[in-house]
Amino acid sequence: MTTKPYVNPQLAPTNRPPRPVNKKMRLKESGGLASGFMLAPSIIFLAICSVYPFIWIFRYVTFNYDGIPAHTRFTGMRNITTMLADTKFWSSVGTTFEYALWKLIFIIPLALIMAVLLNQKLRGSSFFRGVFFMPTVISSSISGMIFTFIFATGNGILNGILQKLGFIGQPVGWLTDTSVVMAAVIIMSVWAGFGNYMLYFVTGMTSISEDVYESSRIDGANGVQTFFKITLPMLAPVLKVVLMLAITGAFKDYEAIMVLTNGGPGTRTNVMFLYIYNLIFGTGANATRQIGYGALLSLVAAVIVGAVTIVYNIVAQKLDEVV
Amino acid sequence: MKKRISLVLAMMMLALCVFAAVPAMAEKTVITYWSNDRHDETYMNEVIAKFNAEHEDIEINMVIMTDDFENSILLAIDGGTAPDIVGQSVTLKNMVDYDAVVDLAPYIAADEEYQKVNDPYNHKYEGLNAIGDAIYWVPSGQRSGVRIEYNKALLEASGFEGIPSTLPEYIEMAKKITEDGKANDPVTYGIGFTSSSPFERQLEMMAQVSGVFYYDYANGKFDFTGYKPFLEAGRELVAVAYPDQQGVDNMRAQFAAGSFALWGNASQEAGVFTNQFPVEGFEWGVSPVPSLDGEIKGALQVNPNKGYLMLNACQNKDAAWEVIRYLQSEEVLVGYMEGGFDLPITSYIDERIDKSKMGRMADFSLLPYESVYPAVPTINLMGDDYRTVLWNAIMGHVEIDEAIEDLNTRYNAAYDEDVSLGFIKRLVIEDYDALHPSAGTVTWLDK
Give the pLDDT of residue B282: 95
Task: Return the higher-pLDDT residue of B18 and A54.
Answer: A54
The answer to whether residue A285 scores a pLDDT higher than 70 is no
What is the C-alpha to C-alpha distance for residues B228 and B230, in angstroms, rounded to an integer? 5
Taking alpha carbons only, the member of B263, B411, B310 closest to residue B105 is B310
Q: Which residue of A has its CA nearest to B260?
A: A154
The answer to whether residue A16 scores a pLDDT higher than 80 is no
Residue A288 is assigned to a structural domain of this protein: no
CB contact under 8 A, A70 and B244: no
Backbone dihedral region for residue A262 (phi beyond 0: left; psi -120 to 50: alpha; all else: beta): left
| Domain limits for position A133 | 95-265
The answer to whether residue A287 scores a pLDDT higher than 70 is no
CB contact under 8 A, A281 and B380: no
What CATH number has the domain bearing residue A246? 1.10.3720.10
What is the C-alpha to C-alpha distance for residues B179 and A265, in angstroms, rounded to an integer? 25
Q: Is B402 on the interface with A (CB under 8 A)?
A: no
Of chain B, the percentage scoring pLDDT greater than 90 comes to 75
Band (A2; pLDDT cuts 50, 70, 90):
very low
Mean pLDDT of B378-403: 92
β-bridge mates for residue B262, sequence order = B150, B191
Mean pLDDT of B105-109: 97
Per-residue pLDDT of B141-150, as tens digits, reads 999 999 999 9
Residue A207 is assigned to a structural domain of this protein: yes
Give the pLDDT of residue B349: 95
Residues 6+ apart with CB under 8 A from B291: B165, B166, B167, B206, B209, B210, B297
- CATH match for B145-301+368-447 among 1.20.1740.10, 3.40.190.10, 3.40.50.2300, 3.30.470.20: 3.40.190.10
What is the C-alpha to C-alpha distance for residues A65 and A74, in angstroms, rounded to an integer? 9
Give the pLDDT of residue A20: 61
Band (A17; pLDDT cuts 50, 70, 90):
low
Q: Are residues B203 and B392 in contact, defined by beta-carbon separation less than 8 angstroms?
A: no
Cα of A78 to nearest chain B Cα, Å:
12
Of B187, B245, B384, the CB nearest to A285: B384
| Number of domains into which chain A is organized | 1
Bridge-based pairing state of the strands B147-151 and B260-265: antiparallel
For residue A69, whether the previous peptide bond is cis, meaning omega lies within 30 degrees of 0, is no
Residue A227 is assigned to a structural domain of this protein: yes
Residue A88 is assigned to a structural domain of this protein: no
Residue A274 is assigned to a structural domain of this protein: no
Q: Which residues of B touch A173 (CB under 8 A)?
A: 243-244
The answer to whether residue B85 scores a pLDDT higher than 70 is yes
Interface of B with A in 382-401 (CB under 8 A): 382-385, 387-389, 392, 395, 397-398
Give the pLDDT of residue A4: 57
Domain map (residue ranges) of chain B: 25-143+304-366, 145-301+368-447
Residue A299 is assigned to a structural domain of this protein: no
Mean pLDDT check: name the lowest of A71-85, A276-290, B316-330: A276-290
Per-residue pLDDT of B287-304, as tens digits, reads 999 999 999 999 999 999
Residue type, A4: K
Q: Do domains B25-143+304-366 and B145-301+368-447 have the same CATH topology?
A: yes
Backbone dihedral region for residue A157 (phi beyond 0: left; psi -120 to 50: alpha; all else: beta): alpha
Q: Which residue of B has its CA nearest to A145?
A: B247
Per-residue pLDDT of A177-195, as tens digits, reads 999 999 999 999 999 999 9
Residue A153 is assigned to a structural domain of this protein: yes
Q: Is B96 on the interface with A (CB under 8 A)?
A: no
Backbone dihedral region for residue B378 (phi beyond 0: left; psi -120 to 50: alpha; all else: beta): beta
Per-residue pLDDT of B152-175, as tens digits, reads 999 999 999 999 999 999 999 999
Mean pLDDT of A295-316: 93
The DSSP result for B276-312, as a single string, is: IS---SS-EEEEEPPBSSS---SPEE-EEE--EEEBT
Domain B25-143+304-366: CATH superfamily is: Periplasmic binding protein-like II (3.40.190.10)
CB contact under 8 A, B98 and A154: no
The answer to whether residue A283 scores a pLDDT higher than 80 is no
Of B68, B98, B388, the CB nearest to A285: B388
Mean pLDDT of A59-72: 86
What is the C-alpha to C-alpha distance for residues B444 and B447, in angstroms, rounded to an integer? 9
Bridge-based pairing state of the strands B370-371 and B300-301: parallel
Of chain A, the percentage scoring pLDDT greater than 90 comes to 46
Q: Is B178 helix (H, G, I), strand (E, B) or coil?
A: helix
Band (A130; pLDDT cuts 50, 70, 90):
confident
The answer to whether residue A72 scores a pLDDT higher than 70 is yes
The DSSP code for A228 is I
Residues 6+ apart with CB under 8 A from A181: A174, A175, A261, A264, A265, A268, A269
Per-residue pLDDT of A195-240, as tens digits, reads 999 999 999 998 888 888 889 889 888 888 888 888 888 888 899 9
Q: Complex ipTM, two decimals?
A: 0.78
Question: Residue A59: enclosing H or E segment and its boundaries?
Answer: helix A52-59
Residues 6+ apart with CB under 8 A from B249: B276, B277
Give the pLDDT of residue A1: 44
